[in-house]
Amino acid sequence: MEVEPRLGGAFIVRTPDGALHISGEVLAYDPPRKLAVTFNVNWPELIEKLGPTLVTYEIEQVGDAVRLTMSEGHDRPLSDDILAGGRSGWPAILSSLKSMLETGKPLVVKLGPPQRMLDALKAMGIKTP
């Protein structure tokens, strides 16, 4: 699949069965240097109670290589238990991206949310799948 981001356009990631998994909006698009999007996991009440997540990818030439810097920001403080989900998921996402760029095939990584994150969300009254 090839995606052409447009400022203000939708950012959508689907599960293998076609269900909506992540959605957001393209906030900055400056190829090949920068892409910034809101990153919203499709769980009811999550955005309402935790606020949006801003994910920014910045790419720069470093000699013969390229450096990718990914940052995640939030509009309110979040506990370490809530942030545990991203801390476990982003390495898998970025490793799969690296494999895709190098081989044309993404890694198939099966991860679930960390239990401490699920427990923290449940304590906040947020239902998870």
Residue 2's pLDDT band (cuts 50, 70, 90): very low
| Tens-digit pLDDT profile for residues 48-72 | 888 889 999 999 999 999 999 999 9
Residue 1's pLDDT band (cuts 50, 70, 90): very low
Closest CA to 46 of 24, 25, 26: 24
Q: Regarding the domain with residue range 1-77, which homologous superfamily does it belong to in the CATH classification?
A: START domain (3.30.530.20)
Q: Is the dihedral of CA 15, 19, 21, 22 positive or negative?
A: positive
| Tens-digit pLDDT profile for residues 112-125 | 889 999 999 999 88
Higher pLDDT, 19 or 59: 59
Using CA atoms, how far apart are residues 49 and 35, in angstroms rounded to an integer?
A: 25
Three-state DSSP at 29 gives strand
Could you tell me the pTM of the whole model?
0.80
Looking at residue 5, its pLDDT comes to: 63
> Once rounded to an integer, what is the mean pLDDT over residues 22-44?
87
Query: Domains of the chain: which residue ranges?
Result: 1-77, 78-124
Higher pLDDT, 69 or 10: 69
